[in-house]
Amino acid sequence: MAEDKQTNEQQSVANSEEQTQKAATSEQQENPKQFLEDFNWHKYEEGIDEVDDEQLMQFEKLVEENFVDTLHNEVVDGTVVHLTDQDAIIDINAKSEGVISLNEFRYNPDLKVGDKVDVLIDIKEDAEGQLILSHRKARVIRAWERVNKAQEDGTIVNGLVKCRTKGGMIVDVFGIEAFLPGSQIDVKPIRDYDAYVGKSMEFKVVKINHEFKNVVVSHKALIEADIEEQKKEIIGQLEKGQVLEGVVKNITSYGVFVDLGGVDGLVHITDLSWSRINHPNEVVELDQKLNVVILDFDEDKTRIQLGLKQLHKHPWDALDEGLKIGDVVKGTVTVIADYGAFIEVEEGVEGLIHVSEMSWSTHLRSAQDFVNVGDKVEAKILTLDREDRKMSLGIKQLTPDPWTDITTKYPVGSKHVGQVRNFTNFGVFVELEEGIDGLIYISDLSWTKKIKHPSEFCKVGDQLNVVVLELDVDGRKLSLGHKQTETNPWDKYSDEFAVGSKHTASVTEIVDKGATVDFNEDVTAFVPQRYLEKEDGTKLAKGEAAEFIVIEFNKEFKRVVASHTSVFKEEEAQIVKKAAKKSEDESKKTTFGDANAELQALKDRMENK
């Protein structure tokens, strides 16, 4: 009996422990978090409370399922459970609660208990055993995760344009400062960047530099795909010659881009106006609405060529039918070239004034010497070709032709004053008046000077006295002379330097066959070698002064020959005197050829001696 009773008591204790264990297990299953919080880990480690293996396994399982592993650097969700003046107490379902400074929530001044926040375990346990968390770092990690995913998936993100920067804008995307290039803001050029500051927009992440933590976004990329579809749809409905309304979107030096409602077309500068223009902004301005005609388009490349001037009739087709050759028209100088100037007589209708038709002068000059761009001029129509749309004009035809009464104004022998216009190797062109030019041959410039080139005698712009020597009316040519305005000095030199006359002068230069002696500024005599001999048998040297006798004088060829030897050699002197006297006595009867023969005979006799 006693043994049975003892057995029953042991059974009862076992049942009681089993029920207690089941109750504990039931409590663990119903409220595992509370069980873990109440579990005295210290007593377990010290061996004060014994826990069987099954309970220990159950405990470890609950820890793994319900608490955050603080050993991994991962972002976890936390709940604000308490707020102080400086910190926020965050429950991250760990063994203890963490602390985050309120400075990390400055962007969210309305933070309150119960809010869910992303946190990163910054310090697992500080000196006081406190778990330190970071919301700022968690936000950065989360932001980069979202940005990377947005680039991978091509998803659209929202961002706030914060400010302008060089080349574009700074955009806040998930708390990350991303760069928005100016070219990626819109498909059309942006003229006012400041209008986008503070504006929320949608973007596409187009580039990430993980090394430098740079993000580039684009708003333009979001609308380009839609625009391309719109372009194809619009271009598919276009026809050549179709007139559409558009808005001037951009102006360049070569043309104007017009928005046709989702697709752009180009009006080349040559298709803006029938008149000549230097820049498209002379015709249109930005945002201007205008009608344009479709000239051509390329469906594959989505290019549309537009025209503005084609909406109006060609000016040549509208030109007055009564306009004819010989009529005088007024116009504006639009273009100047070396060969002439283009004059716009009506909008889109131009005529050419060749430089030869600008003045009666036969010396062609540049058109810029007569007109400038923008000048208002009158001209006479010389030719008119409506089929080829060409017109030639003339200005000089509005004034009388100066050659009409040339024989009255400039008869042969008349004296005038002209201006040197230019030179040639053989003479000088002198302008007597506009359209009347004459030529002075180099031989008619001076009686005495030996001139190799006209520039030695005068320069362009000089005023010269001239005499009309010849007049060719049909050939429109005048032959002029300058030396003929003065008396020929050789007429008086024929007496002053007659054969046998004596003169004292210095040897100017020694040459191969003799020497030259300057008697005056016009007369230079030649002394042969044999006549340079002095009385002592030596010869005259350069610069040496001596007395000379003229042994030959030729006015026609301006030739004078002299001798020093004949001064002291009596026989030669007598021969010279006899020749001189004979020449003087027979000058009225002797022809030039006879006199020349006598002198030649004299020279021959002297040479024989």
Domain 406-485 sits in CATH at 2.40.50.140
Give the span between the Cα atoms of 291 and 36, in whole angstroms: 81
With b for 16 or more beta-carbon neighbours within 10 A and e for fewer, the 141-156 pattern comes to bebbebbeebbeeeee
- List per-block mean pLDDT (blocks of 10 residues) for the chain, which spans 609 residues: 48 50 50 54 50 59 49 70 83 74 77 81 60 75 81 84 89 85 81 86 85 84 74 76 88 90 86 86 90 83 82 81 87 88 87 86 74 89 87 88 83 89 88 86 82 87 90 85 80 79 88 88 86 86 89 82 84 62 53 51 52
How distant, in Å, are the alpha carbons of 136, 194, 203, 213 from that of 170?
A: 20, 12, 12, 14
Residue 167: both structure tokens together? 């080349």
Angle between helices 592-608 and 570-585 (to 10 degrees): 170
User: Is the CATH number 2.40.50.140 carried by domain 328-398?
Assistant: yes
Give me the pLDDT at residue 13, please: 43
Give me the pLDDT at residue 478, please: 87
Using an 8 Å Cβ cutoff, are 185 and 175 in contact? Answer: no
Architecture of domain 490-608: Beta Barrel (2.40)
Best CA proximity match to 158, nearest among 140, 141, 139, 172: 172
Give the span between the Cα atoms of 122 and 141, in whole angstroms: 13
- Compute the Cα dihedral for 156, 157, 158, 162 and give only its sign: negative
Using an 8 Å Cβ cutoff, are 216 and 202 in contact? Answer: no
Give me the pLDDT at residue 362, please: 65
Angle value at C-alpha 140, between 150 and 218, nearest 5 degrees: 35
Architecture of domain 75-140: Beta Barrel (2.40)
Residue 340: both structure tokens together? 């002439």
Collapsed DSSP state (helix, strand, coil) of residue 414: coil
Fold of 154-223: OB fold (Dihydrolipoamide Acetyltransferase, E2P) (2.40.50)
Ramachandran angles phi, psi of 532, nearest 5°: -90, -5
Residues of the chain with CATH 2.40.50.140: 75-140, 154-223, 236-311, 328-398, 406-485, 490-608
Give me the pLDDT at residue 193, please: 85
Give me the pLDDT at residue 123, please: 61
Fold of 236-311: OB fold (Dihydrolipoamide Acetyltransferase, E2P) (2.40.50)
